[in-house]
Structure 1
Amino acid sequence: MAQQQQGAQPQRRRILAGLSAWAGAAMAGTLSGQSLTADASPSGAAGRAGIHPSMEPGDRVAAEVLIDGKAVGKLDHQAMVDGIARSPALVFPLPVGLKRVRLRGKATLEGKSGSFDTTWKVRDLAPILGPLYDQGRPWIERVRGVAAKAEFITVTPGDGGARKKPAKAAFADLEKSLGVPLPPLVKVLGDWQIQLGDSGFQSAADMAKVTDMLLRAWDYQRTGPGGLDKILPRAVQARYDRSVSIYIEVGDGLGALAWDPAGVTPGEMPNSWYSKGQSGARPGPAGEGVWFWMHQEQLHKPVLLLDEEHRPRSTESVLNAVFQSFVFLAPSESETDDELVVDTANPRLNLLQLGFDTTGQPDLSLRSYDYQYGLY
Structure 2
Amino acid sequence: MAQRRSILAGLSGWLGALMAGVPGMAASAADGPTAGRAGIHPWIEVGDSLVADVIVDGKVVAQLDHKATQPGLKKPPALVFALPAGLKRVRLKGTVTIGGKASPFDRSWKVRDMASFSAPLYDQGKPWIERIRGLAKKLEDSISIEPGDGGAKKKPAKAAFADLEKSLGAPLPPLVKVLGDWQIQIGDSNFLPAAQMGKVTDLLLGDWGYKRTGADGLDKILPPAVRARYDRSLAVFVEVGDGLGALAWDPAGATPGEPPSTWGDKGNPGARPGAPNEGVWYWLHQDHIAKPELLLDDDYRPKSTEAALTHVFQRFALSDLDSPEADDELVVDTANPRTNLLQLHFDGPRNPRLWLRSYDYHYSLY
**Normalized against structure 1, the TM-score is what?**
0.88
- Check the 8 A contact 2:251/2:277 in 1, yes or no: yes
Amino acid at match of 1:161: G
Q: Does residue 48 in structure 1 map to residue 24 in structure 2?
A: no
Pair 40,355 (structure 1): closer, same or farther in 2 beyond 3 Å: closer
1:22 equivalent in structure 2: none
Q: Shift in Å at residue 94 of structure 1? A: 1.1
2:238 equivalent in structure 1: 248
CA distance in 1, matches of 2:347, 2:39: 20
Q: Shift in Å at residue 98 of structure 1? A: 1.8
Of 335, 349, 352, which aligns to 1:362?
Answer: 352
> SS of the residue aligned with 1:84?
coil
1:128-154: CA deviation from partner (whole Å, max 9, x where unpaired)? 111122211111001111111113111
Q: Does residue 104 in structure 1 map to residue 83 in structure 2?
A: no
CA distance in 2, matches of 1:38, 1:119: 22
Pair 210,375 (structure 1): closer, same or farther in 2 beyond 3 Å: closer
Amino acid at match of 2:35: A
Comparing 39-48 with 350-359, greater Cα deviation is found at 39-48
1:236-275: CA deviation from partner (whole Å, max 9, x where unpaired)? 0000000010011111100100000000111111111244
1:226 equivalent in structure 2: 216
- Check the 8 A contact 2:53/2:60 in 1, yes or no: yes
- Check the 8 A contact 1:41/1:48 in 2, yes or no: no
Q: Shift in Å at residue 121 of structure 1? A: 2.2
Of 30, 37, 44, which aligns to 2:25?
Answer: 37
Comparing 147-156 with 285-294, greater Cα deviation is found at 147-156
- Check the 8 A contact 2:75/2:265 in 1, yes or no: no
2:277 equivalent in structure 1: 287
2:66 equivalent in structure 1: 77
Q: Shift in Å at residue 104 of structure 1? A: 1.4
- Check the 8 A contact 1:52/1:353 in 2, yes or no: yes
CA RMSD of aligned residues (A): 2.2
Amino acid at match of 1:140: I
Q: Shift in Å at residue 333 of structure 1? A: 4.4
1:308-346: CA deviation from partner (whole Å, max 9, x where unpaired)? 21111111111111112223322x542233222211011
1:6 equivalent in structure 2: none
1:186 equivalent in structure 2: 176
> SS of the residue aligned with 1:279?
coil
1:93 equivalent in structure 2: 82
Please, which runs of 5 or more residues in structure 2 have no aligned partner?
none
Of 283, 293, 312, which aligns to 1:303?
Answer: 293
Amino acid at match of 1:62: V
CA distance in 2, matches of 1:40, 1:315: 33
Amino acid at match of 2:40: I
- Check the 8 A contact 1:26/1:276 in 2, yes or no: no
Q: Shift in Å at residue 26 of structure 1? A: 7.9
Amino acid at match of 1:154: S
Greater percentage in helix: 2
Amino acid at match of 1:221: K
CA distance in 1, matches of 2:229, 2:243: 21
Write out aligned runs for 1:142-291 (5 A). 142-150=131-139, 151-291=141-281
Comparing 255-264 with 265-274, greater Cα deviation is found at 265-274
CA distance in 1, matches of 2:338, 2:319: 19
Q: Aligned residues: percent identity?
A: 62
CA distance in 1, matches of 2:127, 2:281: 21
2:364 equivalent in structure 1: 374
Q: Shift in Å at residue 374 of structure 1? A: 3.4
- Check the 8 A contact 2:262/2:362 in 1, yes or no: yes
Amino acid at match of 2:25: T
2:114 equivalent in structure 1: 125
**Normalized against structure 2, the TM-score is what?**
0.90
CA distance in 2, matches of 1:89, 1:275: 13
- Check the 8 A contact 1:109/1:360 in 2, yes or no: no
- Check the 8 A contact 1:26/1:274 in 2, yes or no: no
Please, which runs of 5 or more residues in structure 1 have no aligned partner?
1-24
